[in-house]
Structure 1
Amino acid sequence: MVFEDLKTFVAVARNGSFARAAADLCVAQSALSKRVRRLETRLGTALLERRARGVVLTAVGQAFLVRAQRLVDELLDLERNLSSFVQLPTGKVCVALPQRTCGLLAPPVIERCRRELPLVDVQVLEGTNANVHGWLMRGEADLAMTYNADLGAGFSVEPFLVEPLYLFASADVVEAQFGRPVPECCALADLATLPLILPRKPDVVRVLIDRLAAGQGLRPNIIYETDGINVIYGLLKRGMGVTVFSRSTTWSEAVESEHVVAIPFASPLVNWKMYLVRARKNSGAAAIDRVNEIVKQELELLLDNGSWPNARRIVSEAASRP
């Protein structure tokens, strides 16, 4: 039985179509179809039912998929972890980063990995915190930076930094809402009156705002929900509302360009923690170990040189969680 045939069958079954699987694997659709038919011929039975809008698993295909998925995962892990037995790390390492972090961290990490680990293919996955969580759970990411520490026993989770959050808005909106020039700080009670534009749950900012407001007996005045940072930024520039974020990347640049103002909260509770995560099953893989160290070192440099405004390293909690 050919491994590529098994891998192709799993990809087609998970995607529900040959076209989407071909895009994921970067292989021609006709080649995937030949591989699946070769596998079906070897097994002597149909695994997929071809339809106009995709494919569905046959009864035999459903049973076979469970075993095939396990075999493919184990062989891919074996292939990646062989790098631990060679002096020069090799293989592919996937690093998942939230959108708010990617612009700061990804460029220096990729630059160093290309220079120091020429045989390691480092792939950066950028998405929402929910995307990062999904990539970790599905085994698609070896390392990640995330705001979510509840990942289970299969992961090593190291609290790395804490960062205060700010209220962002155009100066005109702030003056109209507060009835005076931009204040030095704002209170949690202001969340009940200000027109908030926030991400949807389970985004870390949204969950935090809901929790803090509930603790004050308040209901946040959310006028619009979107997970798109560029959408939020565009709405703020048009004076349509305010939002809550850290002063990293997009928002720091926006303040410097004077498109928006950043107002700190009086309460120190308005902050988020960021965690460095790796899957325990990949423990000891040389390539992943080296990329993990590079990520840590670049994070430290960002904190030391002030590129991550107001963020600070969590020293007392730096041990990995069990």
Structure 2
Amino acid sequence: MEIRQLKYFVGVVEAGSFTKAATLLNVAQSALSLHVRQLEEGFGTHLLVRERTGVRVTDAGQKLLDRARTILKEVQLTEAELTNKMTSPAGEVTIGIPSGAARVLSAPLLEAVRNELPRVSLKMIEGMTGPLEEWMSAGRLSLAILYRTEDSVGPMTALAREEFCLVAPPGEPPFEDSIPLSELHAFPLAVPMRNNNVRRSVADVVSQHGCVLDVRFEVDSLSTIIGMVMEGKAYSILTPSAIHKEASQGLVRTIKIVDPVITRLVVLAVNPRDDRTPAVAALRKLIPKVVDTLIESGHWLTLDRA
């Protein structure tokens, strides 16, 4: 068993197929197949099931996948420590960012990494919060921007506090600047799926105040939800940062939700296994600085810094 074989095996599983992995790893597909087959022969068991749509791991393959990720992280850490890169961090860091936050944070963060951490290769994964939390728990991410309520931050670093608003099609009611929570039931909503933190944050407050919502569509795609609102097919409940571009162009309207206001915290979570790597540690310090700059400049519309 070689480190290279483990890297290729993990790459195939995460890509979902040999074809995609070959492109991402810049390795011939035949070479990937050979290395995985050698692993299977060495262990005397099947690690992957080849299907027409891609591959899936067997029980043995899942065990190897978990161990391989740990081994590869330790190899990366050892290389960093032995080559004394603490003052000039280097290596690959994978970060997950929710679609809403990504709209304001992704480009400035990539620019800051390029300028201040030129030897760090940042792998950014954008998605809805539910899958990002699952990937973080599975160890697939080194860092993640997540959403939490005030009482569930734990060891994570709070970055900002946001409030939710009703997002309405242009020219449609309500026409006031604010709306009580108890009146939201009058508007057909398109919202994320139930396992999404945005949905949970709103649902918790709604249930506590005995209110109901008219949820017509459950969609795990921010762009699709915004598109539905723009076309007048639904309303939604989002934060101003998620629809800042569309709101500034008059494509959607935002109405402040009051009695009570619904808020959430934007937090930075770190995988404990990666926390001591120089590249991850450097990014952990850089991200709050980037967020503060965005808030001060008005590019990230928040209630305040957390």
Same fold (TM over 0.5): yes
**Residue in 2 aligned with 1:305?**
297
Using the TM superposition, name which of 32-41 and 301-310 deviates more. Answer: 32-41
Aligned equivalent of 1:194, options 172, 187, 191: 187
Structure 2 CA distance for partners of 1:98 and 1:252, relative to 1, 3 Å: same
**Residue in 2 aligned with 1:169?**
168
| AA at the equivalent of 2:111 | E
Aligned equivalent of 2:79, options 78, 82, 92: 82
| 1:263 to 2:255 alignment | yes
| AA at the equivalent of 2:158 | P
Cα-to-partner distance string for 1:84-130 (whole Å, 9 max, x where unaligned)? 43232111111211111112112122112112222211111111111
Secondary structure, counterpart of 2:31 in structure 1: helix
| Identical positions, percent | 25
Cα-to-partner distance string for 1:55-79 (whole Å, 9 max, x where unaligned)? 677xxx7447525641442233331
Paired residues for 1:88-237 under 5 Å: 88-148=88-148, 156-175=155-174, 182-237=175-230
Secondary structure, counterpart of 1:131 in structure 2: helix
The alpha carbon displacement at 1:283 in A equals 2.6
Structure 2 CA distance for partners of 1:39 and 1:227, relative to 1, 3 Å: closer
| AA at the equivalent of 2:240 | R
Q: Is the 8 A contact 1:198 1:226 kept in 2?
A: yes
| AA at the equivalent of 1:284 | R
Secondary structure, counterpart of 1:277 in structure 2: strand
CA distance in 2, matches of 1:243, 1:65: 39
| 1:252 to 2:236 alignment | no
**Residue in 2 aligned with 1:282?**
274
Structure 2 CA distance for partners of 1:279 and 1:10, relative to 1, 3 Å: closer
The alpha carbon displacement at 1:212 in A equals 2.4
The RMSD of aligned alpha carbons is: 2.9
TM-score using structure 1 length:
0.82
CA distance in 1, matches of 2:184, 2:114: 45
Secondary structure, counterpart of 2:173 in structure 1: helix
Using the TM superposition, name which of 74-83 and 97-106 deviates more. Answer: 74-83
Structure 2 CA distance for partners of 1:12 and 1:297, relative to 1, 3 Å: closer
The alpha carbon displacement at 1:50 in A equals 6.4
Structure 2 CA distance for partners of 1:52 and 1:79, relative to 1, 3 Å: closer
Q: Is the 8 A contact 1:10 1:65 kept in 2?
A: no
Using the TM superposition, name which of 72-81 and 8-17 deviates more. Answer: 8-17
CA distance in 2, matches of 1:50, 1:80: 31
**Residue in 2 aligned with 1:320?**
none
CA distance in 2, matches of 1:247, 1:197: 16
Give unmatched runs, 5+ long, in structure 1: 176-181, 315-322
The alpha carbon displacement at 1:187 in A equals 0.8
CA distance in 2, matches of 1:285, 1:119: 14
Question: How many residue pairs align between the two structures?
Answer: 301
Using the TM superposition, name which of 75-84 and 116-125 deviates more. Answer: 75-84
CA distance in 2, matches of 1:183, 1:52: 55
| AA at the equivalent of 1:75 | L
CA distance in 1, matches of 2:46, 2:218: 42
The alpha carbon displacement at 1:31 in A equals 0.9
CA distance in 1, matches of 2:157, 2:230: 36
Structure 2 CA distance for partners of 1:289 and 1:220, relative to 1, 3 Å: same
The alpha carbon displacement at 1:186 in A equals 0.3
CA distance in 2, matches of 1:172, 1:277: 40
Q: Is the 8 A contact 2:169 2:253 kept in 1?
A: yes
Q: Is the 8 A contact 1:169 1:242 kept in 2?
A: yes
Secondary structure, counterpart of 1:168 in structure 2: strand
The alpha carbon displacement at 1:268 in A equals 4.1
The alpha carbon displacement at 1:218 in A equals 2.6
Using the TM superposition, name which of 297-306 and 10-19 deviates more. Answer: 10-19
| AA at the equivalent of 1:257 | Q
Cα-to-partner distance string for 1:238-288 (whole Å, 9 max, x where unaligned)? 222211111115x12222212222111123431221111112222332211
| Larger Cα-atom Rg | 1
Q: Is the 8 A contact 1:82 1:285 kept in 2?
A: no
Secondary structure, counterpart of 2:251 in structure 1: coil
